[in-house]
Amino acid sequence: MTRPRVVLGVSGGIAAYKACELLRRFTESGHDVTVVPTAAALEFVGAPTWSALSGKPVATDVWTGVHEVPHVRIGQEADLVVVAPATADLMAKAAHGLADDLLTNTLLTARCPVVMAPAMHTEMWEHAATTANVATLRSRGVLVVEPAEGRLTGADTGKGRLPDPEEIFELCRDVLERQTTGAAGTTLDLAGRHVVVSAGGTRERLDPVRFLGNRSSGRQGYALARAAAARGAEVTLVAANVTLADPAGVKVVRVESTAELRDAVLTAAAGADAVVMAAAPADFRPVHRSDTKIKKSDDGSAPVISLEQNPDILKELSVHRPAPGTVVVGFAAETGDASGSVLDLARAKLARKGCDLLVVNDVSGGAVFGAEDNEAVILSADGTAVDVPRGSKGALAHVIWDQVAARLPSA
Ligand code: CTP
């Protein structure tokens, strides 16, 4: 099997050093990487570093090795071009079709998927010129990843950070995989859509040190967020007590309890095209929350903790759709019992909740929680059932988005 050919474009920003890590991830996982830095990028990280890590010579201009016509060949032969970091200047050039160095030439000749991961100061990212250039690039099918929020160069913080290189790698791998498995025509089928995903398990505090919780790791929800971002969606991920890294290009809102999850999901869902409730919200919360630590008593008696029911967010979203046509997806972990099989109970739950799709996991063996892979049946309100055989949570995520995409009203 030929190694996937990746062009790593690096433009001149301080985050260029993080592209070394991205390069390593690509080469260590068997990709053939050609690094094309701009002249400004070499002010931050020198050519020997790119050359040593990629195992190839590195050029910034179109005059090196002219007999091989690199300004055309590199782009033509690529399976994926990723520019990380993409500066405001590089995106402005790309949006206007300028071609004054090897990277901008490569961007004009590439016919494969192109991913750009911008990194710059908030003011530059929010400038009308950058906004317009990003919109132009997106309208031409470039996957421009939303920058992360956090510490920028210097003391200031804000939107404009390069996402975690590991997460940019995961996004690129996802795009490449869909490209090679023939899903290329639909690679950015969620572009222009806003989707909300909830993930993780909520915690209901009993006192300052204790809570009622559950075993949800958040992996399936994070895989859903990643997959949607790789398909071009604007993604808000409402995460309850998850310790995983933020997926590239995804807005992450952190919550603790079911009440907080409900508020955050309903706020994010206003006008959304789809909401996927992959979180495991606690169904009950303590009626009283102690402000001080609950102590053992000398007589050996245990405290009685009264619970009250939390709101059912999925049901609320299904009944009061955030927008006409919002597709609402729920999850169900079922074991089956005397009253019915896993699928019987799931069909009843789908009807009870009123959502469009219900992703059903058979948890009789206790498998799913925290595991790397998953298998499921996706039931729909229109009566279909799609079996998804055991595979990665990322693979299941894409089948779920396929089902969602098929039900979205045309944009
Ligand atoms: N869910 C929710 N709000 C809750 C509880 C659950 O939105 N308070 C969502 C979950 O995110 C999931 C789906 O509902 O998408 C299934 O949750 P589950 O607890 O299995 O449903 P229940 O109706 O509580 O079913 P059961 O009676 O089997 O517990």
How many Å lie between the centroid of ligand 1 and the Cα of residue 314?
Answer: 7
Reported as a single tens digit per residue, the pLDDT across 207-262 is 999 999 998 999 999 999 999 999 999 999 999 999 999 999 999 999 999 999 99
DSSP class of residue 240 equals E
Q: Which of 105, 133, 214, 374 is catalytic?
A: 214
Strands 250-255 and 5-10: unpaired
> What is the residue extent of each domain of the chain?
5-181, 194-407
**Can you tell me which atom of ligand 1 is nearest the CA of 334?**
28
Reported as a single tens digit per residue, the pLDDT across 17-63 is 999 999 999 999 999 999 999 999 999 999 999 999 999 999 999 98
Q: Are the C-beta atoms of residues 314 and 358 closer than 8 Å to each other?
A: no
Top CATH class, 5-181: alpha beta
Q: Write the DSSP string, 33-48.
A: EEEEE-TTHHHHS-HH
Per-residue tokens: 10: 């690096």
Q: Are the C-beta atoms of residues 202 and 213 closer than 8 Å to each other?
A: yes
Given this model, what pLDDT does residue 1 score? 66
Q: Are the C-beta atoms of residues 372 and 390 closer than 8 Å to each other?
A: no
- The answer to whether the bond into 85 is cis (omega within 30° of 0) is yes
CATH number of 194-407: 3.40.50.10300
374 in active site:
no
pLDDT tens by residue, the chain, 411 residues: 689 999 999 999 999 999 999 999 999 999 999 999 999 999 999 999 999 999 999 999 998 888 888 889 999 999 999 999 999 999 999 999 999 999 999 999 999 999 999 999 999 999 999 999 999 999 999 999 999 998 888 888 999 999 999 999 999 999 999 887 766 455 799 999 999 999 999 999 999 999 999 989 999 999 999 999 999 999 999 999 999 999 999 999 999 999 999 999 999 999 999 999 999 999 999 999 999 999 999 999 999 999 999 999 999 999 999 999 999 999 999 988 888 899 999 999 999 999 999 999 998 876 556 677 889 999 999 999 999 999 999 999 999 999 999 999 987
Q: Are the C-beta atoms of residues 290 and 207 closer than 8 Å to each other?
A: yes
Per-residue tokens: 144: 């421009």
Tokens 């729920």 correspond to: 330
Burial of 212 (0-12, 13-18, 19+ CB in 10 A): middle
Tokens 């909520």 correspond to: 202
Q: Are the C-beta atoms of residues 334 and 361 closer than 8 Å to each other?
A: yes
**Can you tell me which atom of ligand 1 is nearest the CA of 330?**
15
* Exposure on the CB side of residue 389, measured as CA atoms within 13 A: 0
Distance, CA of 235 to CA of 156 (rounded, Å): 25
Q: From the CB of 332, is ligand 1 less than 6 Å away?
A: yes
Distance, CA of 283 to CA of 287 (rounded, Å): 13
Amino acid identity at 94: A
Q: What's the angle, vertex CA 160, arms to CA 156 and CA 165, rounded to 5?
A: 115
Closest residue to atom 23 of ligand 1, CA basis: 349
Q: Write the DSSP string, 159-190.
A: EEEPPPHHHHHHHHHHHHHHHHTT-GGGTTTT
No. of H helices and E strands in the chain?
Answer: 14, 19
Given this model, what pLDDT does residue 181 score? 74
Per-residue tokens: 54: 């990629």
Q: From the CB of 268, is ligand 1 less than 6 Å away?
A: no
